[in-house]
Amino acid sequence: MFSIDTTAVLSAFDPKIDPKRVGLNENDKKLKEQTDKFEAFLLKKVLDISLKSENKLFGKDAGDKIYRSMYNDTFSQALSGNIGFSQMLFDFLKEQKTLQK
C-alpha cells in the first residue's frame, strides 16, 4: 500500500498550511518565515531595478511610483520561497546553529 501526501492540496484550501513548513519545529518555522521574507526583500530590489524603465502597465500619473512599488512588492512576496535562495539560506543557518552546539 502506498500513501499520498495531501499537504500541497490542503494548502490550496487553507493558506495557514504551508507544505514547505510541514514537519518543522516552531523555531525552524520562524527561521523559514524569516528567510522567505529576506528572499522577498531581495526579489523586490531586483524588480525595482529591472522594472525601472517605462512600463505601459502603469501610466504617468501621480500614483505611478506607488502602483509600481505595490506591484513589485506583491510580485516579490508571491515568488518568495520558490526561487531557492530562501531554502539555501535556511539550510546554511540551520547548519551553523547545529555547529555552535
- Can you tell me the mean pLDDT for 6-11? 52
Answer yes or no: are the C-beta atoms of 37 and 76 closer than 8 Å.
Answer: no
Note whether residue 62 is domain-resident: yes
Note whether residue 70 is domain-resident: yes
pLDDT in tens, 44-95: 999 888 877 665 665 567 677 788 888 889 988 888 888 889 999 999 999 8
Nearest partner of 27 among 94, 100, 80, 81, judged by Cα: 94
pLDDT of residue 42: 93
In the chain, the number of structural domains is 1
pLDDT > 70? residue 38: yes
Note whether residue 8 is domain-resident: no
Length of the chain: 101
Of residues 8 and 88, the one with the higher pLDDT is 88
| ∠ Cα 98 95 22 (to 5°) | 95
pLDDT of residue 36: 92
Helix (H, G, I), strand (E, B) or coil at 12: helix
Note whether residue 65 is domain-resident: yes
pTM (predicted TM-score): 0.65
Note whether residue 48 is domain-resident: yes
Answer yes or no: are the C-beta atoms of 3 and 61 closer than 8 Å.
Answer: no
Note whether residue 9 is domain-resident: no
Determine the structural domain holding residue 31 and report its residue range. Answer: 24-100
38 contacts: CB under 8 Å, gap ≥ 6:
86, 89
Note whether residue 5 is domain-resident: no
Note whether residue 2 is domain-resident: no
Residue 90 burial by Cβ neighbours in a 10 Å radius (0-12, 13-18, 19+): buried
